Amino acid sequence: MRRSRCYLGAVALLLALAAVLTGRGRLAAAAHIERQLPEQRRLVAALQLTDLALWSEARYTRHPAMTDLFSPFQDHPGAMEHFPAGALFAPRWHTPETAIGIRRRDAEAR
């Protein structure tokens, strides 16, 4: 019976872990709705935002709902990008190693 006890113990442990994670997640989501969401919504209303700032790579991804009707993703919901480039080229990230700081002369006075 040793193996079955170990197995059932492991399953019970994982089940408890999954339940705790899910329960804590739901509590966190409820706390977010109560505390942070109202202020986030106030900002969305004040700036009249229409989209999430997730993808800034192209206008049809930055504002999926606002873009021209013939853009990719707008032909029909969930449409894939037309262009093979999207599948062939790996994304590249430009993170400059150096930066040039430019200040106005009166900046120090401020």
Partner 1 sequence: MHRVKILEYALAALLRRPGKSAAILTAYTLLVTVLCSVLLLTHALKTEAEQLLAEGPELVVQQTLAGRHDLIPERTAATIAAIPGVASVTPRIWGYYYDSLTKANYTLLAADPAASPLELVAGRLPENEGECAVGMGVAAARRIGVNDDLILIDAANVGTIFTVTGVFKAESRLFTEDLVVVPGEALRRFFAIPAGMATDLAVRVHNPGEIETIAAKVKRQLPATRPITRNDLLRTYRAVFDWRGGMMLALFASALLAFCILAWDKATGLNAGERREIGILKAVGWDTGDVLMLKFWEGLALSLLAFLLGYTLAFAMVFHWGVPVLGDVLRGWSVIFPDLHPVPHVDLYQMATLAFLTIVPFVASTVIPAWRAATSDPDEVMRQ
96 contacts partner 1 (rule: CB under 8 A): yes
C-alpha 68/C-alpha 59 separation (Å) is: 9
Q: Which of residues 33-72 bind partner 1 (CB under 8 A)?
A: 33, 36-37, 39-59, 61-62, 64-70
Q: Which is nearer to partner 1, 78 or 84 (CB)?
A: 78
In sequence order, what E strands does the chain have?
none
88 contacts partner 1 (rule: CB under 8 A): no
Identify the residue among 34, 84, 88, 94 touching partner 1 (CB under 8 A): 94
80 contacts partner 1 (rule: CB under 8 A): yes
3 contacts partner 1 (rule: CB under 8 A): yes
In DSSP notation, 19-68 reads HHHHHHHHHHHHHHHHHTHHHHHHHHHHHT--S-SS--SSHHHHSTTTS-
The distance from CA 108 to its chain's CA centroid, rounded to whole angstroms, is: 38
**What tokens appear for 106 in the block?**
């009166």
For the window 6-35, what string marks contact with partner 1 as x by the rule CB under 8 A?
Answer: -xx-xx--xx-xx--xx-xxx-xx--xx--
